Structure 1
Amino acid sequence: MEKSLRFINGAQAEELVENLKKVGKHTITNNHYRAEGEIGSFDIWLYDELETLLQVFVFDISLNELFEFEDIQTNEDIYTIRFALGAKVDYSDTQVGHGSPVGAVIYNSGQTIKNYIQPNQRLRGVTCRVEKAFLKRMSKENWKNIEGFLSLNKPWIYYESITPEMEQCILDMLQLQQNVNGRYGFTTGKIFELVTLFFLQFFSNRSLKAFAYISPRDKEILFEIKDRLLFDLTKSLSLQELSRDYGINIAKLRNLFFQVFGSTPLQFVMKERLFEAKRQIIMTNKSITEIADITGFTDTSHLGKLYRREFGVAPLVHRKRK
């Protein structure tokens, strides 16, 4: 039994079927492709009504063994945005995720991206393949800036945190796949909402005029640093420590980290703490004191002050709205 799937320039229905045959017994019900075998189970819902302009895969995959997805993109005007929840994923030499919401990545064509999914994990999320024409329609007010960034002729990959709003959008889409009446229309609406949320954050975090090529080795180091920062949000690592441990000077580290993640390492950790605090407030019944403790804030006052600055409301206001 093969432990890898290979997609070239996206996946038409025929290619999706051929790939799932490698997994084991498979079934097709409307746009739902399911396969199950020794390596695990695959549920994929394909939305390609807009053909190459926008192609979307909603997926729910449970794996028993290490598994590889190989994504080969040669179409120049195709860009991939992948949102993942609940697993650790390696993008070629760069790791994304350590449980809970993993994160989102966007990358261009002209490269092969290998995604290694660790064994005994469940991976859920959404993959969007979009043409430049679609992005132009979605980002009219930002198009002059984004056009230059998209036209970089060397391979690039950039990361964004999954906000609680993005996470809820993804969970809504997964729920809609359970034979909900009107799911095609509702799912399409959620796809537009998710992509819009992604680019709103992407634009707000970056000066697109400053984009530059980053070597594969530097990219690998940056994602290693990101994963280390996310491993324990209660700990703060200084630029000096990171510079020493990874053999990269402070100025270069700060600049390149900002390029890929839209913030300095310190800002990145603080943003992730606030996103996790918001997630805990909205999705759990834990006390504000407990949430402040597990997300690395000194006390509820410290959390409340930064939370209001970031989200415009006090933590308890979000708790009452949930």
Structure 2
Amino acid sequence: MDQLVKFTLGRGDMSHVLSEISQTYPGSSWDGQVFTVDTPNTSVKITNLDNLPGVNMSINEVWFDYDVLFQEEAQEETSILIRFVHDSVLFHQGTGNGAVGENQLNSAAMYNTLRAHQVFIPRHRNIRWLTFRVSIETWKKVTYGLLPSIDQLLQRKEEWIIFETIDYNMEKCIRRIFEVQSKNRAERLGFSLAKGMELLTYFFRQLSKRLENDHSVGLVTMDVDTIFLIKNDLIKNIQSPPSIEDLCRKYGMSADRLRNNFKKVFGLPPRQYVLKKRYQEAYQQVKQTNESLSSIAHSLGFSHSSHFANGFKKHFGVSPSALRENK
């Protein structure tokens, strides 16, 4: 029988939670900043940084010989959690099992803490991610009121989640944070905090641009599982995805309802989502293969290489040729 181990992250600050776990979990240790587990079937390293008022940052690297479900308890005082997944995949349960991470359109998720939340970690995979917990007061200071729709949403007693991409600048910050973890404690602490704040700045700026003309956000609703099925249908054949009419017939949903609910979950209408996914696939191919840029563009349904290059730079802040030179 497949084994599923559940960990409950209770209320209170992360340092307190990790300290309690270290007292009961076999093979674990906690020095006030770094929590580790090193056993034949478990490898965990969590660096917890709470040096900045109102912001908690954790740097997580794990491997399990079994499936793991992290259960985050609801908090009476609302905070915002932002999770960035690097070179791996996490699954947010209760949101259509939304995959976040490598080779996914979305590599970041932001949600509130008014309700319990679950994150699934599959066995036999090295998983690396960053988590930021930001207090509402600090959020307001950082965003300067530029995201009024989210400010209003924070007052509601409903769960919500926003999925977002990681652009070139964010990816560089994340990569450097993990690279520096082998350094001495003082260097690791200062550099990680500095890069973490830079990462949040890029993230909030990108999210602000996305919501400039549309202040809707990804509320989790009863339709969310269907919306994730629709998303899967759209990207199965990225060159020639099904039409809105075909999807409406398949899922018994009107076109307006489909578009509106899709946009609430993913922040984009279906067609724009597909376009963004094409660029995400192109990003991976430019980084990981030696295929010509024109071949990559053609294979993903872009008819003009110049349009592909311009759109690529708009999405990621770097041209495909520059990305390839620096890979």
**Unpaired segments ≥5 residues, structure 1:** none
Indicate which of 117, 124, 141 corresponds to 2:128. 124
Give me the whole-angstrom Cα distance separating, in 1, the residues matched to 2:240 and 2:24.
43
Larger deviation: 145-154 or 291-300? 291-300
1:110-147 CA deviation, whole Å, 9 max, x = no partner?
20111122222221111111101111111115154442
Contact 1:70–1:114 (8 Å) recurs in 2: yes
Contact 1:92–1:115 (8 Å) recurs in 2: no
Code of the residue aligned with 1:168 in structure 2: it is K
Code of the residue aligned with 1:87 in structure 2: it is V
State the secondary structure of the residue aligned to 2:207. Answer: helix
Indicate which of 258, 262, 265 corresponds to 1:260. 265
Kindly state the Cα deviation for residue 292 of structure 1 after the two structures are TM-superposed.
Answer: 2.5
Kindly state the Cα deviation for residue 264 of structure 1 after the two structures are TM-superposed.
Answer: 0.7
Q: Give the aligned partner of residue 321 of structure 2.
A: 316
- Identity among equivalent positions (%) equals 26
**Unpaired segments ≥5 residues, structure 2:** none
Kindly state the Cα deviation for residue 291 of structure 1 after the two structures are TM-superposed.
Answer: 2.9
Contact 1:23–1:39 (8 Å) recurs in 2: no
Code of the residue aligned with 2:9 in structure 1: it is F
Q: Give the aligned partner of residue 173 of structure 2.
A: 169
Q: Give the aligned partner of residue 140 of structure 2.
A: 136
Kindly state the Cα deviation for residue 298 of structure 1 after the two structures are TM-superposed.
Answer: 4.5
- Aligned pair in 2 of structure 1 residues 232, 175: CA closer, same or farther (>3 Å)? farther
Give me the whole-angstrom Cα distance separating, in 1, the residues matched to 2:29 and 2:19.
9
Give me the whole-angstrom Cα distance separating, in 2, the residues matched to 1:183 and 1:70.
28
Q: Give the aligned partner of residue 57 of structure 1.
A: 58
Indicate which of 34, 40, 43 corresponds to 1:41. 43
1:50-87 CA deviation, whole Å, 9 max, x = no partner?
25x01111101112221100001223331111112312
Kindly state the Cα deviation for residue 7 of structure 1 after the two structures are TM-superposed.
Answer: 0.8
Mapping of 1:207-218 within 5 angstroms? 210-211=215-216, 214=219, 216-218=221-223
Kindly state the Cα deviation for residue 188 of structure 1 after the two structures are TM-superposed.
Answer: 0.9
Contact 1:82–1:105 (8 Å) recurs in 2: yes
- Are 1:203 and 2:208 an aligned pair? yes
Contact 1:43–1:60 (8 Å) recurs in 2: yes
State the secondary structure of the residue aligned to 1:3. Answer: strand
Mapping of 1:133-282 within 5 angstroms? 133-142=137-146, 144-180=148-184, 182-206=187-211, 210-211=215-216, 214=219, 216-230=221-235, 233-282=238-287
Kindly state the Cα deviation for residue 224 of structure 1 after the two structures are TM-superposed.
Answer: 3.5
Give me the whole-angstrom Cα distance separating, in 2, the residues matched to 1:238 and 1:22.
53
Kindly state the Cα deviation for residue 293 of structure 1 after the two structures are TM-superposed.
Answer: 4.9
Q: Give the aligned partner of residue 28 of structure 2.
A: 26
Aligned length: 321
State the secondary structure of the residue aligned to 1:153. Answer: coil
Contact 1:136–1:143 (8 Å) recurs in 2: no
Give me the whole-angstrom Cα distance separating, in 2, the residues matched to 1:287 and 1:21.
54
State the secondary structure of the residue aligned to 2:77. Answer: coil
Q: Normalised by the size of structure 2, how large is the TM-score? A: 0.84
Give me the whole-angstrom Cα distance separating, in 1, the residues matched to 2:298 and 2:44.
37
Q: Normalised by the size of structure 1, how large is the TM-score? A: 0.86
Code of the residue aligned with 2:132 in structure 1: it is C
Misfit runs of 4+, over 6 Å: none
Contact 2:80–2:136 (8 Å) recurs in 1: yes
1:209-255 CA deviation, whole Å, 9 max, x = no partner?
74378453212222333345455544523222332333322101111
CA RMSD between the two structures: 3.0
Give me the whole-angstrom Cα distance separating, in 2, the residues matched to 1:2 and 1:140.
42
- Aligned pair in 2 of structure 1 residues 164, 240: CA closer, same or farther (>3 Å)? farther
State the secondary structure of the residue aligned to 1:48. Answer: strand
Q: Give the aligned partner of residue 68 of structure 1.
A: 69
Larger deviation: 164-173 or 298-307? 298-307
Code of the residue aligned with 2:262 in structure 1: it is F
